[in-house]
């Protein structure tokens, strides 16, 4: 009896452990038929040919998806594809089709296949559009091989989604919109264009690994930037690059009043947003720690007519230091004060004007970035550098001499300083407060 059981076990194991399932990899496509897949939305044809899964462009039918019946959350997916001229396609991951969302239209992360330019980027199908576009990444754009088999590798682990095309990193994104869902192969709508009908996208060697992923994960990507869409969090890559959260997204830990007041009624935390409540009298807040050389990134959004500011090099002089001005230039009277625009958004307040108004988005989140390397300082907004200055020398002394800070002894000097957020009695919101110390 014992022997029979053992034999049965061995037989069963051998059935499960065919060559494709060694090391925990599983074939999603068996090379013979479409078992395990379901067609959704359009009527484009999917067929099997010579061990290849073939999607066929079809006129007058919407985007068609061949979706896995199973849902996958964390995985490494590898596949090869070869695409005819003029065909747009993509590999959906963690995607969905729900009756109450656009009548079941497939939506979610799509690892792009498109001979035009952007293969390997991530497009949010039928929802928010480009999440990881390749517009500014020519090296990633060149990863795609025209007319040949291309190898795509996708690593989805928790909030991290990374894509490689032919070994070249093409996307590195952190996002939590979808943590699981089906995988799907797209054949894009071609409308009534007869000349595109019949053109194909071919897939083969579609395999997935869902367990023991640690042993196969690729090292951190360095050649392309990472986009982190989860507010108030640090990705592993950000941590490795030395970033730290200046705000935990939940409460005011790490911050204190700069004047000993009870500031927590004025500064509230909700839904991952830190809000200065108007006319609360709560006063400015500062980080408990001081910072020397650093890169600071903060999202901000202002209510109509609002005034606030991100100050740095705050030390012995109360709330006085350098300030990245946050101001509704169009509606706050301070915009026309000071000298020639040096109290406008993005300026070094009352010291040096900067054209923040050219790049700010009203009624939306904006990203302020301040970089300090020794005495060299930069102000950025939404990816555009708007100011650089040297915080030393005769020029700096002259700037301070004519500013509001002329009487301040050793203005913004000394050994590093705190970061301060200004309560100017107006509603301003902050999130995603991140800092990276440099030259450590």
Q: How many residues bind a copy of itself (CB under 8 A)?
A: 50
Q: How far is the CB of 188 from a copy of itself (least distance, A)?
A: 7
Measured distance CA(425)–CA(140) in Å, rounded: 46
Q: Does 355 bind a copy of itself (CB under 8 A)?
A: yes
Measured distance CA(245)–CA(289) in Å, rounded: 12
In the bound state with a copy of itself, the residue whose beta carbon lies nearer, of 85 and 215, is 85
In the bound state with a copy of itself, the residue whose beta carbon lies nearer, of 29 and 123, is 123
Measured distance CA(321)–CA(12) in Å, rounded: 72
Q: How far is the CB of 137 from a copy of itself (least distance, A)?
A: 12
Neighbours of 2 (CB within 10 A): 6
200 closest CA partner among 12, 52, 412, 385: 52
Q: Are the C-beta atoms of 174 and 118 separated by less than 8 Å?
A: no
Q: Does 380 bind a copy of itself (CB under 8 A)?
A: no
Q: Does 156 bind a copy of itself (CB under 8 A)?
A: no
In the bound state with a copy of itself, the residue whose beta carbon lies nearer, of 221 and 408, is 408
238 closest CA partner among 384, 440, 439, 432: 432
| φ and ψ of 244, to 5 deg | -135, 150
**Chain position carrying tokens 């020639």:** 340
Q: How far is the CB of 290 from a copy of itself (least distance, A)?
A: 27
In the bound state with a copy of itself, the residue whose beta carbon lies nearer, of 283 and 321, is 321
Residues 69-98 that bind a copy of itself (CB under 8 A): 85-88
Measured distance CA(143)–CA(224) in Å, rounded: 13
Reduce the DSSP state of residue 239 to 3 states and report it: helix
Q: How far is the CB of 75 from a copy of itself (least distance, A)?
A: 24
Q: How far is the CB of 339 from a copy of itself (least distance, A)?
A: 5
Q: Does 299 bind a copy of itself (CB under 8 A)?
A: no
Residues 210-239 that bind a copy of itself (CB under 8 A): none
In the bound state with a copy of itself, the residue whose beta carbon lies nearer, of 127 and 237, is 127
Q: How far is the CB of 195 from a copy of itself (least distance, A)?
A: 5
Q: Are the C-beta atoms of 111 and 99 separated by less than 8 Å?
A: no
In the bound state with a copy of itself, the residue whose beta carbon lies nearer, of 118 and 291, is 118
Q: Are the C-beta atoms of 76 and 217 separated by less than 8 Å?
A: yes
Residues 402-431 that bind a copy of itself (CB under 8 A): 402-404, 406-407
| φ and ψ of 257, to 5 deg | -65, 145
Q: Binder to a copy of itself among 78, 112, 284, 328 (CB under 8 A)?
A: 112
In the bound state with a copy of itself, the residue whose beta carbon lies nearer, of 195 and 222, is 195
Q: Are the C-beta atoms of 379 and 323 separated by less than 8 Å?
A: no
Residue 113 half-sphere exposure, CB side, CA atoms within 13 Å? 34
What sign does the dihedral 232-235-241-244 (CA atoms) show?
A: positive
Q: How far is CA 188 from the centre of its chain?
A: 26
Q: Binder to a copy of itself among 78, 114, 172, 295 (CB under 8 A)?
A: 114
Measured distance CA(429)–CA(116) in Å, rounded: 40
In the bound state with a copy of itself, the residue whose beta carbon lies nearer, of 2 and 409, is 409
382 closest CA partner among 362, 364, 360: 360
How far, CA to CA in Å, does 45 sit from each of 32, 38, 88, 378, 411?
16, 12, 15, 55, 71
User: Which residues are CB-contacts of 194 (< 8 A; sequence separation ≥ 6)?
Assistant: 59
Measured distance CA(154)–CA(91) in Å, rounded: 10
In the bound state with a copy of itself, the residue whose beta carbon lies nearer, of 158 and 191, is 191
Per-residue contact flags (x/-) with a copy of itself for residues 388 to 407, judged by CB under 8 A: -x----xx-xxxxxxxx-xx
Segment interacting with a copy of itself (CB under 8 A) among 1-9, 127-135, 175-183, 415-423: 127-135
In the bound state with a copy of itself, the residue whose beta carbon lies nearer, of 87 and 286, is 87
Measured distance CA(57)–CA(80) in Å, rounded: 18
Q: How far is the CB of 274 from a copy of itself (least distance, A)?
A: 25
Residues in the chain: 440
Q: How far is the CB of 201 from a copy of itself (least distance, A)?
A: 11
Segment interacting with a copy of itself (CB under 8 A) among 31-39, 46-54, 191-199, 215-223: 191-199
Segment interacting with a copy of itself (CB under 8 A) among 231-239, 279-287, 320-328, 381-389: 381-389
Q: Binder to a copy of itself among 131, 190, 208, 326 (CB under 8 A)?
A: 190
Per-residue contact flags (x/-) with a copy of itself for residues 303 to 342, judged by CB under 8 A: ---------------------------------x--xxxx
231 Rama class: left (phi>0) / alpha (psi -120 to 50) / beta: beta
Which residues would be at the binding site for a copy of itself (CB under 8 A)?
Answer: 85-88, 112, 114-118, 123, 129-130, 133, 135, 146-147, 188, 190-191, 193-196, 199, 336, 339-342, 351-355, 386-387, 389, 394-395, 397-404, 406-407
């Amino acid at each position: 009896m014992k022997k029979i059981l053992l034999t049965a076990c061995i037989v069963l194991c051998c059935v499960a452990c065919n060559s494709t399932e060694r090391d925990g990899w599983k074939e999603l496509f068996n090379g013979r038929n479409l078992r395990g897949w379901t067609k959704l939305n359009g009527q484009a044809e999917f067929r099997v040919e010579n061990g290849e899964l073939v999607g066929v462009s079809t006129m007058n039918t919407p985007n068609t998806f061949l979706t896995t019946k199973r849902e996958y959350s964390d995985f490494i997916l590898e596949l090869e594809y070869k695409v005819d001229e003029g065909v747009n396609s993509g590999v959906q991951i963690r995607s969905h089709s729900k009756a109450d969302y656009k009548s079941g239209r497939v939506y979610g992360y799509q690892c792009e296949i498109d001979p035009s330019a952007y293969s390997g980027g991530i497009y949010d199908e039928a929802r928010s559009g480009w999440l990881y576009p390749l517009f500014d990444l020519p090296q990633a754009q060149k990863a795609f091989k025209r007319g040949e088999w291309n190898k795509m590798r996708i690593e989805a682990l928790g909030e991290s989604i990374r894509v490689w095309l032919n070994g070249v990193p093409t996307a590195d994104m952190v996002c939590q919109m979808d943590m699981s869902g089906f995988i799907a192969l797209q054949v894009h709508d071609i409308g009534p264009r007869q000349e595109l009908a019949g053109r194909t996208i071919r897939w083969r060697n579609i395999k997935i690994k869902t367990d023991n992923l640690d042993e196969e994960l690729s090292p951190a990507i360095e050649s392309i930037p990472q986009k982190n869409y989860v507010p108030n969090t640090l990705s592993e890559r950000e941590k490795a690059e030395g970033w730290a959260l200046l705000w935990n997204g939940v409460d005011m830990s790490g911050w204190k009043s700069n004047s000993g007041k009870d500031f927590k009624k004025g500064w509230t935390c909700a839904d991952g947003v830190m809000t200065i409540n108007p006319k609360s009298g709560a006063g400015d807040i500062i980080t408990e720690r001081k910072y020397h050389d650093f890169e600071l990134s903060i999202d901000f959004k202002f209510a109509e007519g609002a005034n606030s500011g991100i100050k740095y090099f705050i030390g012995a002089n109360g709330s006085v230091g350098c300030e990245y001005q946050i101001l509704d230039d169009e509606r706050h009277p301070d915009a026309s004060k000071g000298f020639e625009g040096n109290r406008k958004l993005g300026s070094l307040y009352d010291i040096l004007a900067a054209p923040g108004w050219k790049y700010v988005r009203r009624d939306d989140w904006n990203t302020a970035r301040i970089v300090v390397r020794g005495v060299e300082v930069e102000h950025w907004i939404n990816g555009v550098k708007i100011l650089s200055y040297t915080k030393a020398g005769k020029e700096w002394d002259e700037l301070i001499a004519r500013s509001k800070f002329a009487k301040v002894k050793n203005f913004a000097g000394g050994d590093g300083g705190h970061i301060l957020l200004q309560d100017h009695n107006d509603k301003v919101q902050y999130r995603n407060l991140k800092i990276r110390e440099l030259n450590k």
